[in-house]
Amino acid sequence: MYIKRAKIQQTQFVVLKSIIYNIDHAEDTKSVSELPIDFDYEFLEHKEIKTKIRVILSIRINQDKAKDGYFIDVQTGSEYEISEDISRTDKEYQGLLLYSALPCLINQTRLFLKTVTSHFPTKEYILPMIDMLDLVKQKVGNFEAKGIKKREYRKLKTGKTWHWRKDCSRYPHANYITSFSKPTTGKLCKVCELKNI
């Protein structure tokens, strides 16, 4: 089969923080695989180079040390290059981040944890498969729970002006592009700005 390269390519992987140690000795793999996990991630866009994006992943396992097995506090990062023909405001861009870049980083972190813990007396730790849809929903839910609403910017596909107020008479309802971060191209609607005052 012919391999078609994706519109996103990884250029770097790093381990930013790694604290891993045994808590007692869990003899069976099941107890190790059921350790409580806390996950977080963030995307960092390069301000000048629009095709570069960094993803940071933080994983904390068994933080209260209540179970035998491992205490793990790991932070990893990865840098990606995205095709120039994809704008940061495209839905495809969001999809590449959430369903290509982030899972790629999770898998590399899984391999890192398995490799490091294979040298410990406790069974090696294999990070479980992650329900990505649920993870993304939780992240959006955390913003809403903290009172931080992810602002949705919209502009017509053929337009240059971004709108975010649904009560703006020019707010697009069809044939539009969406962005959940403040757009860096085009201009912001003056009417929407006035309605925010």
Report pLDDT digits (tens) over 138-189: 776 655 445 445 678 888 988 899 998 888 888 998 888 888 777 878 889 9
Measured distance CA(150)–CA(173) in Å, rounded = 18
Assign 115 a pLDDT band (cuts: 50, 70, 90): very high
Number of domains in the chain: 2
Question: By mean pLDDT, which of 30-34, 127-131, 155-159, 167-171 is the weakest?
Answer: 30-34
pLDDT of residue 139: 75
Angle at 157 between CA 92 and CA 167, to 5 degrees: 105
Q: 161: domain range?
A: 153-196
- What CATH number is attached to the domain comprising 132? 3.10.420.10
pLDDT of residue 148: 44
159 and 138 co-located in one domain: no
Question: By mean pLDDT, which of 9-13, 126-130, 145-149, 157-161 is the weakest?
Answer: 145-149
Residues contacting 3, CB < 8 A, separation 6+: none
Please give the model's pTM, rounded to 2 decimal places: 0.69
112 and 172 co-located in one domain: no
In a domain, 3, yes or no: no
Measured distance CA(186)–CA(11) in Å, rounded = 29
